[in-house]
């Protein structure tokens, strides 16, 4: 029941229609847009606002590193499965794009990356591989739990970004990028649920443990 509610909330956070327009992340992946001020400069903001921006981008980059390695671990075990393998590959490819953009945001705003990036890689791979070894449904349950936490986290960040001035072009672009990534993560959540994540053994316990771990990781990466 609780899981069903969470699924409905997740759907409510995502817009029901997505028009096919230029994605915000294209500004970071298209080399012809490299010199645009929104992509190449950082705003002159107060120390408190700078700290909000630094922490947000640090934890986002760490999260995308972990997500990449979770899918890498899942693919290592389930990559050859004809049904789930291509699915994991597709979601992993999207996370690779997210990480590419986050790396560019980190450089643009001169943000210190997390000290825990190697820990994120090892823990992500271990989580992905372990849940994949438990079965396809457990792997999907892991994806469901992680993407739920990340989706909520991006939504909270959008509220924090309201404190940043919109006068500099990088800030509205950043908000659009985070919205786009939030929608992508919630799409992954939908995919996981559609592929029977809720049939995983001890689904509630597994989801709680994975979600709890993600929340602890988010708090650690904000600081370190």
Partner 1 sequence: MTTTSAKLLKLALPLIKNHGFTRETLSLSALSLPTPLANPLPDASVTALFGPGDDACRTLVHAWLDDARRRMKEEAIEKMGMGDVLKARLKSNEPVLEHLPEAFALLASSPLLPLPLLPVDPAPIIRHAAQVSNQACWIAHSDSSWYTRRATISAIYLAAELHQLTSPKTAPEFLDSLLENAEHAGKALDETALFASYVWKSWRGIVRSSGVLV
Out of 9, 12, 22, 107, name the contact with partner 1 by CB under 8 A: 107
Alpha-carbon gap, residue 85 to 190, rounded angstroms: 17
The distance of closest approach from Cβ of residue 83 to partner 1 in the complex, given in angstroms and rounded to an integer, is 25
Nearest residue (CB) to partner 1, 112 versus 199: 112
Judged by beta carbon, residue 110 or residue 194, the one nearer partner 1 is 110
The reply on whether position 122 binds partner 1 by CB under 8 A is: no
**Rounded to whole angstroms, what are the CA distances from 143 to 27, 57, 86, 96, 169?**
28, 22, 15, 15, 33
Which residue, among 176, 187, 183, has the nearest Cα to 144 in the 3D structure?
A: 187
Query: How many Cβ atoms sit within 10 Å of the Cβ of residue 174?
Result: 25
Longest distance between any two alpha carbons in the chain, whole Å: 52
**Could you tell me which stretch among 17-25, 104-112, 147-155, 182-190 binds partner 1 (CB under 8 A)?**
104-112
- Among 220, 154, 222, which Cα is nearest to 188's? 154
Are the CB atoms for 72 and 82 separated by under 8 Å? Answer: no
Site string for partner 1, 59-98 (x = CB under 8 A): ----------------------------------------
Binding partner 1 by CB under 8 A: which of 113, 169, 172, 213? Answer: 113
Q: Residue ranges for the binding site?
A: 64, 95, 98, 147, 185, 188
> Which residues bind to partner 1, rule: CB under 8 A?
107, 110, 112-113, 115
């Amino acid at each position: 029941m609780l899981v069903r509610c969470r699924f409905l909330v997740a759907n409510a956070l995502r817009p029901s229609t997505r028009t096919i327009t230029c994605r915000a992340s294209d500004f970071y992946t298209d080399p012809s847009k490299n010199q645009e001020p929104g992509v190449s400069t950082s705003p002159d903001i107060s120390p408190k606002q700078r700290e909000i921006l630094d922490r947000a981008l640090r934890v986002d980059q760490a999260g995308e590193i972990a997500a990449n390695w979770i899918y890498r671990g899942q693919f290592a075990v389930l990559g050859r499965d004809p049904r789930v393998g291509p699915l994991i590959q597709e979601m992993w490819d999207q996370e690779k794009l997210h990480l590419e953009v986050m790396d560019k945001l980190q450089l643009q705003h001169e943000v210190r990356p997390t000290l825990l990036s190697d820990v994120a890689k090892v823990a992500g791979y271990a989580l992905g591989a372990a849940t994949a070894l438990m079965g396809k449904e457990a792997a999907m349950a892991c994806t469901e739990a992680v993407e739920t936490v990340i989706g909520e986290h991006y939504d909270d960040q959008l509220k924090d970004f309201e404190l940043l001035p919109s006068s500099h072009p990088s800030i509205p672009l950043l908000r659009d990028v985070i919205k786009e990534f939030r929608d992508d993560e919630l799409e992954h959540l939908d995919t996981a649920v559609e592929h029977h994540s809720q049939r995983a053994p001890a689904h509630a316990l597994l989801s709680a443990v994975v979600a709890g771990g993600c929340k602890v990781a988010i708090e650690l990466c904000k600081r370190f």
